[in-house]
Amino acid sequence: MNLITRPPAGQPAGPPRVLKLSPSDNVVVAVDPVDPAMVVAGVAAQARIPRGHKMAITRIASGEPVRKYGQVIGYAGGDIEPGQHVHTHNCLFASVALDYAHASAAPDTAFVAPEARATFEGFRRDNGKFGTRNYVGILTSVNCSASVAKFMAEEVRRSGILADYPNVDGVIALTHGTGCGIDYAGPAFEVLKRTTWGYACNPNMAAVLVVGLGCEGFQIAKMKEAYGLSESDVFRTMTIQDMGGTRKTVAAGVDAVRGMLEIANTKTRETAPASELMLALQCGGSDGYSGITANPALGHAVDRLVAHGGTAILSETPEIYGAEHLLTRRAVSREVGEKLIGIIRWWEEYTARANQSMDNNPSPGNKAGGLTTILEKSLGAAAKGGSTALTGVYGYAEPVTGKGFVFMDTPGYDPVSATGQVAGGANLLAFTTGRGSAYGCKPTPSVKLATNSDIYRRMIDDMDINCGDVLDGASLEAKGEEIFECLLRVASGERSKSEQLGYGDAEFVPWQLGATM
């Protein structure tokens, strides 16, 4: 990465800063706005280049590839002259032939000795896992029971009894908009079943009550049968129809939660190795700096976590499209690499059936921030995964049983994606943003990383870490260390900005697959 910097403070102002990310690139990224006729990288700008956007530094003939990160991010829609703004008006999406080279470059990880590994203060569960939070959850089988679940949680909060349970982080009602009108022998039922039980099993949950209506397609009894579940002090179920209506169900639910609070409050934090952390990786509201600052900095933190024996989950399949060849090379086996490509092919067919394109992502906000095609966005997004070996590939909301760097198939829509990761077992989440995403996640705390200093200052109440100073000379390695230390503090109980604001109750969004009948 070649950064053309400004002179030191007190000296005459130099040209705006730009970045050339690879020697083979034919564009540079504007760190500062570039006005017409300004000379940067030896080229006079022919138009205004906004921050985070791209400028051609060589002639790119019509149909030739546009290169950033040393990779193809699109093709010239006409002749592009040096100094011209390169964006959606002249850089077009087309699929790229990729060499997957499965498992050809899987790196060896230098693991930290167990006795020297970092630690955090967490809640030990009976199955040996550790939570970073201690919640009592009220889950729903169907949208028809959503209000009742919320009534229960509101009644508990209003009563003031939570003050008697200082070791409990709260009572949360996690509701959704599906559960009936679905094929209860098909993918819709299977995904909702995995997601619901995954949240119930997440180590950040001390106890769970599942509430249904009674007649819905997603029958609680079928979920209990599938997993061999039985009622206990920390797992209860009920339906509004069996309980005799709304008021009686709310009263019974509040009574059940009171008992769960007594049990949850007996848990206290104890020292746990960082190997017990499972980190969900998210990026949203991305911009032209995402793949330059926050995402690679988070990748360094991921490498550190993996070296300490932990797990990191990269997801958002549409947002690795065009960068998947960088992951298959790192796969520990050909089987792992081919499983990832099978998922990519499913997404190509899925979007085609819906008369859509994989290039429908990036969003308008992403494009305003400088991202032109999904290929460009994906190359930056994949940087969150660091540089260690890809050890496993999982379906949506499947339990993540392996260690190290893994991938989970999810949509790119952040709440849906994060819901799958938390269902898979993530007890911590890191979220990078350049445009300023407003997001939080319960029961899993979310740490927000700003890609640029401007959004960090403007949304200081939402952002935990500023990665924009990488553009001012801070090293990615040092920023990764800062992120890693912050994650350990949050895992130990320090509240992230999104937690302080109260985010997380409305961000439970299971992926809806299949027809709604």
- Whether 112 maps to a domain, the answer reads no
Is this prediction's pTM over 0.75?
A: yes
Q: Where are the beta strands (DSSP E) in 182-323?
A: 205-212, 235-239, 269-273, 278-283, 311-314
* Residues 257 and 281 occupy one common structural domain: no
Structural domain boundaries enclosing 195: 135-266
* Residues 152 and 239 occupy one common structural domain: yes
75-119 pLDDT per residue, tens: 999 999 999 999 999 999 998 899 999 999 999 999 999 999 999
* Residues 413 and 314 occupy one common structural domain: yes
What is the per-residue pLDDT for 1?
A: 52
**Domains held by the chain: number:** 3
* Residues 380 and 319 occupy one common structural domain: yes
Alpha-carbon distances, residue 243 vs 172, 212, 260, 313, 475 (angstroms):
21, 10, 19, 40, 59
- Whether 108 maps to a domain, the answer reads no
Q: Which residues in the chain come in under a pLDDT of 50?
A: 3-12
Q: Which of 430, 440, 435, 471 is nearest to 455 (CA)?
A: 435
Tell me, what CATH number does 260's domain have? 3.40.50
* Cβ–Cβ < 8 Å for 378, 315: no
What is the per-residue pLDDT for 5?
A: 43
* Residues 287 and 256 occupy one common structural domain: no
- Whether 118 maps to a domain, the answer reads no
Q: Count CA atoms closer than 13 A to 198's CA, side-chain side.
A: 26
What does DSSP assign to residue 167? Answer: T
* Residues 151 and 235 occupy one common structural domain: yes
- Whether 158 maps to a domain, the answer reads yes
363 Cβ neighbours under 8 A, 6+ residues apart: none
* Cβ–Cβ < 8 Å for 323, 378: yes
Q: Given 231, 247, 266, which residue is the final one in a domain? A: 266
Q: Given 203, 235, 266, which residue is the final one in a domain? A: 266
Cis peptide upstream of residue 443 (ω within 30 degrees of 0): yes
- Whether 106 maps to a domain, the answer reads no
Q: Given 242, 266, 290, which residue is the final one in a domain? A: 266
Distance CA 155, CA 369 (A): 43
* The 71-76 sheet, strands edge to edge: 65-68, 71-76, 91-92
Task: Please give the full DSSP string across 413-453, using - where no structure is assigned.
Answer: SHHHHHHHHHHTT--EEEEEESS------SSS-EEEEESSH
* Residues 307 and 375 occupy one common structural domain: yes
* Residues 291 and 244 occupy one common structural domain: no
